Structure formats: structure tokens, C-alpha cells
Structure 1
């Protein structure tokens, strides 16, 4: 039987990109000195990147997934998918980073009828796969995440390669979309934000959306901070049906080009505020590969601000990872392919994700 202390779960990040718990060392000097005494755990917050990906899908203040099927209009369903896509954009914490998932690491959580499973299918390069299903709504989500950072001196821009799909099986519709880029700035004003263009399309209906994620300028202007702007149109005519405007951390409105009327399609406070920490419902069913178990000692050390213990535990995990032979490892939950033309593709082995032993309390 697994010891309960080995499963450590922490609260999702708040809307402003911070946490209700301060994971940082007591002062900045200690953080700087840690660079010279090799204490990298000081620069982590107690969560794996795999958990961060999962939280953007299963941690919501209201049930956006169940709303996807409600409308009989394909255009209204498309706007609901646009709102859902925006909801997966989550605030980040500057100066601290999640753990890099180890090969074969998993994260399995249920929120009501939505069951979400992630697996780290490659370590070099890092590739994460996500599969989520809601049997009641007959909705399926498939992601393949392959971050590729590019260094530009004063900033780092990370492109998140890989296909994202959302399938509404009741309507036989598949929506494909990409992820915005992650921008980390060091000068003149340090910060982290999402930027770039996101395209959402549905082949079955011919509807498409283009959304541009903006941020404040390098000179410090905050006019475009977390702003998004875009449009929804039909691919056959390219005529704009709706204009999209707002801020992904506040509200996003949709303006009907025909009549000029606007309405709110996304409110971040409703979706990202009041998020609950997952709990362990069935300890014996938690896999050894579960993120909250793999990194439990490191997370506990960070929560207790025991940096020596956290660093020792992290080194042990990383050493074990280096000793593993990636070429002989086969993912347990996904079939993975990679080509020069299409990049990485991760297909789930099973059609449905089973209920998880870790759940979001209701």
C-alpha cells in the first residue's frame, strides 16, 4: 500500500499568476546564492509541468465542457469552443518553474464526469500527451505538447508544437487548434506571458477563428497586457461573422458584424477563480507514475521550505531519469509517432479515460 504522505497535491495558480502559498525562499539573497551552491529546487514551485497542462483542462470554476453541446447551432457551438480554448490559457508565476516531467510520468484526475489522463511520452525532446473524455456529454479532448524554446538575449520565446483537438461526437465535429507562445522577459521589466496567434478550425462546418494574444511592450506600456483580438469567419467566403476582443484574464466579448451587438462569451473570474485543490479519493489506485507521487518528497520539501531535502529528492529523481534508457521505453497510454512533415502525434490507446483516484471535490 502506498503511503499517503507520498501523494502531495497543491492548489492551482490564482488568476494573477501567483499562489495563495508563497513557495519562494525567505529572501532574494538566498535565491541568488542558491545558484552557486546548487540548490535548484528553490526555483521550482511544487507541481510538475504535466499537472499544469492537466489543470488547464480539469480546473474550472464552471463547467465549460457541458456547455459545448447545448446549442443546436453550429455557429453557437463554435463560439463555445472558442471560449473553452481561451479558458485553457492560464496565468503563470515568474521566477519559479514547474518540474520537468520524467519519462513515463502520468497525471490522472477526474472532475465530475470529465476524466483526464496525461503521460510524458518523451523526455528528449520533452513531449506530453493528454486525453480527456466526458461520457455523459460524449466529448473528447486530445493534446500533444512539445515546447521548443528560442533564446533572444533579453527574452525567451517558447513555441508549443503539437496538435490540439476537441471532438463533439454527438455532432460529429472535430475542432483543431494550436497553443499561443510562452514569452519570458528579463529586461527591462521581468515577466511571463502568452503571445502569438491561435487558429481554431472545424472542417465539418467550415468555421474558423483567428485570435492574436498580445502583451505589454518592452518599453513598459501595459495597454495590451493579456489582450486578445480576433475574428470568427467561414472559410468558404472569408467574411467575418464575429469580432473577438478583450483580455484572457478578464472578459472576452463577441461582436456580431451584422447587427453590431456585443456579448460576453468568456469571463475569467468565473472560470479561473475559486479553483479547488484535487484530493485523493482512492489511495490504493494511485499509480506509482502519478506526478503527485513521483515528486511528493520534493514538493513537501518546498512546502516546508526545507530546501536541502527538496534538492536531494530532486537530484535522486533526475539521476534515476538519466540512468533510464529512453530508446527502449514504450508509452503505456498513447501511440506516438513523429515525422518531419507533421511533427509529434500522440493517439490514445483506449477510447475512454477511466475515472481517476484523484478527484476535484464538489
Structure 2
């Protein structure tokens, strides 16, 4: 944490394999059930207000950003170095799996405010996120690495729903990874987050992920599953299974098998050779918090600045102070909304061109060809 010119800028350790169990409080399950006692099954929770006691000390924008810039290995650059289209698809698949990060039952990041940003650099990779809608919550991401000639564009909308004994957050929207040296664009989605409340509290990534290179027609189909033994005994296996195929010939080229929090292997269907393409311990273990290099240059919309007082109070377990600070942030947003409505104004993104249609849903495109260096640096 470092002092900014107006207040503290708080950056926290990324989510990694170590988890965030120290944030759990006594009687967690009972308190969570009490939160939803008046919520009907099937209800959309995107407007649900979570008390600060149940918050991680970071915004959802920071969680999305960490999945890109907080890695122990340079997987994103490996995508560019594959000798063949198939090598590059396998590298992109490994990178996509690396964006799957552990979540903790009972705690959630802040719902970002409208126009909130998160701007971080790691080496030559510059990452910028902006909250382009508050209700519903929609996040846009643009990242560029001019040295490697790589570009990422995401537009994502999580839709959490309550089902009585569980909460499932489906993530709508697509991610694009462009390897400009090769003239290749990879489109993909991400798995959904499932919170099981009973019989055994847990949180898991589930669902199907499809990764396709538009130019080559190569496709990876991945299925995320979480297998629990009876009443939770025997552990939780975070399984990923799938295949890599040629969409034009329908030939299966590789089979994919493993666990996203351990290792992922591919098996060549032609010769039977098996190799490890992803090791979670090397990529998302022992991650360090970003550093504020230039506090004066941090934007007032930066997540680490907007939520600094809330995050600091949560980290100190000063729950009343956290509640008051969070209420102040949210009330300020209500005031700005009332102000815009009274003047007949519509909020406009500062960094993305945004559209929302019934056919295509939310879409965003960056206003600039590259992302600038950031005042917050990831190691």
C-alpha cells in the first residue's frame, strides 16, 4: 500500500492456489443461508448487495485482471512462439486454462462501479479493464504486448442466479486473443462458477469452454467438472477433459485430460505420446501483489483507489468501518446516476466503443490500438 495524492491506494495479493481461507469467519454457512432467506429460487443476484463482511478486499475488475497479468510463467508469450498452428492452439489452450483461478466459498469481490478501471503492466504487457455497465454488470478488457505483437479483447457479463441449495454465475460474452505476427484470432468463452451451499459448501468452475482459431479452423473443446465423493469426503477433483480437433475434417488430433489446479496433459491420437502442457503450481502459486510505481498517475477511477478504504478496513477486520466505507462508495454512484438522469445524460465509456443488442448482446471494441504503460506494476 502506498499513499496517493488523495487517499491510500490498496493493492492486494492475487488469488492463487493458496486460497483465501483466512478470510472465512465463524458460522459462515449459517450466515450465508441467512443472507438468502428472502430470495426466491431462480432469482437473478446481479443486483444483490453483499455486506462487506462477505467481500474479498478487491474488485471483480482486479480479479479479471489478475487472471491475465499475475502468472509465474510467461504463458501468453508462449502462444506466439509455437512453430505450427497446432502448437499455437495448444499454447492458447494452456493460457486459457491459466485464467481459471481458485475462488473461496463465502466471499466475493466488489461489484465494480460504472466507469471503474483497473490498469496494470507486467513487463511489456499492458492491461486495462473498464466497467462499461453497472446494471447489468459488464466488464471490458483490452491488453496489448507491443513487443510480442499480441492483443486481447474481452467483454464479459456474469449472471449469478440463486437455486435454493446453490448459486451459479454464468459468464456471458467472449474473449479474443490475437497473435498478430501469425494473423490468427482465437475466440473463447470461460466456465461458470458454481457455489454449492449444501450438503457440503464448495465453489467450483464448471461447464464447457470452446477455443477456436478463426483462420485455421482448429478447435479445443474443454469440459470443466468438479467431482465430489459422498458428503464431500475424499476431496474435490477439479477435472478438465476435452479434445483438440480440426473443424473441417472432424479429426480428433489430441485428447486433453487433467485438473486445472494441478496439471493438464495432452495425448497425441496418432502416436499415443503424452505430455504436460500446464502446471498450475508453476503458474498461479506464490503470486505477489502488484506495486504502485507512480501514485500520482493513478486514475481516480482505478479499482485500487476507489475501494481503498473498504479494502483496508476488511484487511484489518474492522467490519463497521468497511460497511460505512462501502456504503459511501455506493451512495456516491447513486448520486451521480440521479445527476445524469436529471440532466438527461447517458454515461459513455472512456476507453471502449460499446453496443448492446438482442441479437449479439454486449459487445465492446477498444478506442485505442494499444494500452499505455500503467502506474501499477505486476512482478
Give the TM-score normalised by structure 2.
Answer: 0.89
**Residue 265 of structure 2: aligned partner:** 253
SS of 1:162's equivalent?
strand
Unaligned regions of 5+ residues in structure 1, if any? none
Alignment of 1:107-146 (within 5 A): 107-146=118-157
2:12 is the counterpart of 1:10? yes
CA distance in 2, matches of 1:24, 1:324: 34
CA distance in 2, matches of 1:215, 1:8: 34
Q: C-alpha offsets along residues 74-108 of structure 1, whole Å, 9 cap, x if unaligned?
A: 10011000000000000001111111100000000
CA contact (8 A) 2:12 2:58 kept: yes
CA contact (8 A) 1:31 1:42 kept: no
What displacement does 1:322 show?
Answer: 1.9
CA distance in 2, matches of 1:39, 1:254: 41
**Residue 234 of structure 1: aligned partner:** 246
CA distance in 2, matches of 1:30, 1:265: 37
**Residue 219 of structure 2: aligned partner:** 208
What displacement does 1:18 show?
Answer: 2.3
Total equivalences in the alignment: 357
Give the TM-score normalised by structure 1.
Answer: 0.94
What displacement does 1:336 show?
Answer: 0.6
C-alpha distance 30-167 of structure 1, shift in aligned 2 (>3 A): closer
Q: C-alpha offsets along residues 222-247 of structure 1, whole Å, 9 cap, x if unaligned?
A: 68721000000000111100000000
Q: C-alpha offsets along residues 112-134 of structure 1, whole Å, 9 cap, x if unaligned?
A: 11100000000010000000000
What displacement does 1:13 show?
Answer: 1.8
The correspondence for 1:316, drawn from 307, 322, 328, is: 328
CA distance in 2, matches of 1:9, 1:245: 35
2:309 is the counterpart of 1:297? yes
Q: C-alpha offsets along residues 131-170 of structure 1, whole Å, 9 cap, x if unaligned?
A: 0000010000111110112322111111100110000000
2:212 is the counterpart of 1:194? no
**Residue 23 of structure 2: aligned partner:** 23
What displacement does 1:39 show?
Answer: 9.0
CA contact (8 A) 2:18 2:285 kept: no
Q: C-alpha offsets along residues 284-329 of structure 1, whole Å, 9 cap, x if unaligned?
A: 1100000000000001111111111111000011111222227611
CA contact (8 A) 2:310 2:325 kept: yes
What displacement does 1:4 show?
Answer: 7.3
CA distance in 2, matches of 1:106, 1:136: 24
CA distance in 1, matches of 2:19, 2:249: 40
CA distance in 1, matches of 2:308, 2:171: 27
CA contact (8 A) 1:39 1:308 kept: no
Unaligned regions of 5+ residues in structure 2, if any? 36-48
**Residue 340 of structure 1: aligned partner:** 358
CA contact (8 A) 1:200 1:210 kept: yes
C-alpha distance 223-8 of structure 1, shift in aligned 2 (>3 A): closer
CA distance in 2, matches of 1:263, 1:218: 28
CA RMSD of aligned residues (A): 2.2
SS of 1:69's equivalent?
helix
What displacement does 1:216 show?
Answer: 2.2
**Residue 153 of structure 1: aligned partner:** 164
The correspondence for 2:285, drawn from 266, 269, 273, is: 273
Moved over 3 A (4+): 1-5, 27-33, 217-224
